[in-house]
Amino acid sequence: MPQIAQLGEFYASQIFWLVVFFGLAFFIVGRGMVPKVMDTVAHRDKQISDDFAAAERARREADAEEEAWRTRENARRTEAQGVIAEARARATLAAEARLGETQRGLDVQLAAAEARIADALRAAGAEIENVATDAARDVVARVAGITIDDGAARSAVKEKLAHG
């Protein structure tokens, strides 16, 4: 077979050039490009890990700040509740004082009204006594034909009104 006889002549040079180009490709790619790519990957990995570490620090700082904020807010809320309780107490005292003043005013008005009622009752009783005295004198004068003096008629009416 003549093709096999040619292998040594033609294929030896092709194998030589194949080895030369693969060697060049290995040195150019393997020694020149791959280390740059690996450095870029390593730099990127370091940057990602640094970013994760910074994010973790920021999260811890945010948590600490949030806790401090909650503590301040709870203290302010407690202080506000104290102010509200104090305001309520002052308002209650002020309302009780106003109610006391109003009650005293009402008591004075009630006492005055009771005095006016008592005066009106005495005046009405005196008027009833006068009318009853006049009526008793007139009845005795018409029925018995006797004229009695005003003092006797008044004492009889007073006695009857007092004892029923």
At residue 12 the predicted structure's pLDDT band, cuts being 50, 70 and 90, is: confident
Q: Is residue 1 part of a domain?
A: no
Q: Per the domain annotation, does 59 fall within a domain?
A: yes
Summarised one tens digit per residue, pLDDT across range 131-161 is: 888 888 888 888 888 888 888 888 888 888 7
Rg for the chain (alpha carbons), in Å?
A: 62
User: Cα(94)–Cα(88) distance, rounded to whole angstroms?
Assistant: 10
* 37 within domain boundaries: yes
28: in domain: yes
Q: Is residue 126 part of a domain?
A: yes
**In the predicted model, is pLDDT for residue 28 greater than 80?**
yes
**Alpha-carbon gap, residue 45 to 54, rounded angstroms:** 14
pTM above 0.75, yes or no: no
Q: What percent of the chain has pLDDT over 70?
A: 94
User: What is the residue range of 158's domain?
Assistant: 11-163
pLDDT in tens, 103-134: 999 999 999 999 999 999 989 888 888 888 88
Residues 140 and 148: beta-carbon distance below 8 Å: yes
Structure-token pair, residue 4: 């096999």
Residue 1 has pLDDT above 60, yes or no: no
> Residue 55 falls within a domain, yes or no?
yes
Q: Is residue 4 part of a domain?
A: no
Give Cα 95 distance to the centre of its chain: 22
Q: Is residue 38 part of a domain?
A: yes
Domain count, the chain: 1
Cα–Cα dist 37/15, whole Å: 30
- Tens digit of each residue's pLDDT (9 = 90 or more) over 38-80: 999 999 999 999 999 999 999 999 999 999 999 999 999 999 9
Inter-residue contact 137 to 148 (CB < 8 Å): yes
